[in-house]
Amino acid sequence: MHIAPSILTADFTRLGEEVTAAFEAGIRWLHLDVMDGRFVPNISFGPMLVRPLKPIADRYGAIVDAHLMIADPDRYLEDFAAAGCDYITVHAEVCPHLHRTVQQIRALGKRPGVALNPATPLSAIEDVLSDLDLVLVMSVNPGFGGQRFIPASLDKLRRARRMIDERGLSGVALQVDGGVNKDLIAAVRDAGATVAVTGSAVYAPGRDRAEMIADLQKALAT
């Protein structure tokens, strides 16, 4: 399983150091939560922040994964692709022409993903699943860091895992995002997730990043 720290709770005054510390501790997947203040309540950052992080990720052979929690993602796909994202994930809830959006991401040379809010059924991606490289199951309602994991997300992950496996789509990553910590990471892995997004479980104020990551890795090893 990949541990994918979200930089949302990192110290932005020293973001390069924060990202490098995670990579030095063995992380090879970086998650960028992009929020617009419309689809979700908060505003975070845009493609300009991705550009300086991409060369750091490239030095470690790491993946840069943009999670677009924005109301009109089609307008910005080219910008995030040009900034260097490897995966671009959009929300099913805001894409009236989801298949076209997915194909546009693919045409830009990037790996498309689709995210589902806690109340959005898996049926929303059934007809595009074979076109995806990533399915993101939200285990909190998007828009804020530090929320508590919604327990029903484990069953949703299991059902998503079956859906992927029954279609023989072994290359599709199953990502979970929201409230995942050292006490839950093994459970989401056992439910079928292959990528766990972690925010404050890595970027907690005053905590050593390597120690936090080691705690997560230890939890996965037991």
Q: Parallel, antiparallel, or unpaired: how do β-strands 29-35 and 2-5 relate?
A: unpaired
Options 65, 86, 133, 177, the catalytic residue: 177
**Catalytic-residue membership of 33:** yes
Contact call for residues 214 and 28 (beta carbons, < 8 A):
no
**Catalytic-residue membership of 131:** no
Of the candidates 145, 156, 155, the residue with the CA atom closest to the CA atom of residue 181:
145
Of the candidates 77, 89, 50, the residue with the CA atom closest to the CA atom of residue 177:
89
Radius of gyration of the chain (CA): 16
CA–chain centroid gap for 64, Å, is: 9
Encoded tokens for 109: 């040379």
Options 33, 36, 65, 133, the catalytic residue: 33
Residues with catalytic annotation? 33, 177
